[in-house]
Homo-oligomer: A and B are copies of this chain.
Amino acid sequence: MAIVLGDNQYGKAENRLVVVSRDGDVHRIKDLTVSTSLRGDLADTHLTGDNAKVLATDTQKNTVHAFAKRQPVGEIEDFALRLGRHFVSSQEAITGARVLVDEHPWQRIEGNGHSFVSGSAEKRTTAVTVDGDRSWVVSGVRDLVVLKTTGSEFHGFPRDEYTTLQETDDRVLATSVTARWRYRTGEVDWAEAHAAIRLLLLTTFAGKHSLSLQQTLYAMGEAVLLARPEVAEVRLSMPNRHHFAVDLSPFGLANDNEVFHAADRPYGLIEGSVLRDDAEDPGLAWHTLPAF
């Protein structure tokens, strides 16, 4: 029996990068949080502290900055691919890279070319993996907070010895959507795809009469796959943020789904994947997400 080094990666996380481009008086900003991590022939640094193959995390950070200048950042997927491919191609010991980018939305303050007010708290995300000459892109949204005041039911569930929940044919359904979708290999109009997929998620959540959050989740994933051939798989994680109709009867008042207490914890958590049965192998696509 020997003790060995297993899976490992290292890099610089959460570089807060803001890039300004100017077109005369009209300025644009890209507000990004960029994390890079590298994989490869890294046993030495672990075993003996020999760092000859360890491209410093500080260097990774500098690279992110320099790349943001060398060429317009463009869409976050492209930026992440450029960075990932650079690390893998420029460092012999480095065989794989993962680049995560969150984009924070800004809106213009009306009538002003260089002033902005923060958009929603929602993030546009991408997680890109490069391994040798292969690459995978998993994009998504996070903190997409939605709520419907009706159109959600929950009944027909088993009643065991611990079940007290009353069935309902009308409840509030509130969640914060984290969605990630794996793109197929090939050309993708990243921005257009993101905007369209986001809208599909919203409209499906809104429109699908829900008999369970699972059913809503599946419908959301399915809607994306039906409309977007460039997507191979959609994974969703959705907390059920419980809104409890408070009991007003002690005060002689009825509560017809009008007055709710929005609870913090606990919350339901519904997670699932919807995919094409002929989807290409995911390879290392999902390994871009925290494996630790």
Contact = CB atoms under 8 A, between A and B. Distances in A.
A134 interface: no
Interface stretch (A74-82, A158-166, A186-194): A158-166
A217 interface: yes
Interface of A: 1-22, 27, 29, 31, 33, 35, 37, 42, 45-59, 61-63, 65-66, 68-70, 90-91, 106, 109-112, 114-122, 144-151, 153-158, 160-165, 172, 178, 180, 202-203, 205-207, 210-215, 217-218, 221-222, 225-226, 233, 235-237, 239-240, 243, 246, 248, 250-251, 253-255, 257-278, 286, 289-292
Nearest to A34: B266
Nearest to A60: B162
A221 to B, nearest CB: 8
B272 A6 contact: yes
Contacts of A203: 109-112
Given A59-B162, A144-B117, A147-B29, A271 B49 contact: no
A286 B150 CA distance: 38
Contacts of A45: 211-212, 214-215
Given A150-B27, A262-B17, A251 B66 contact: yes
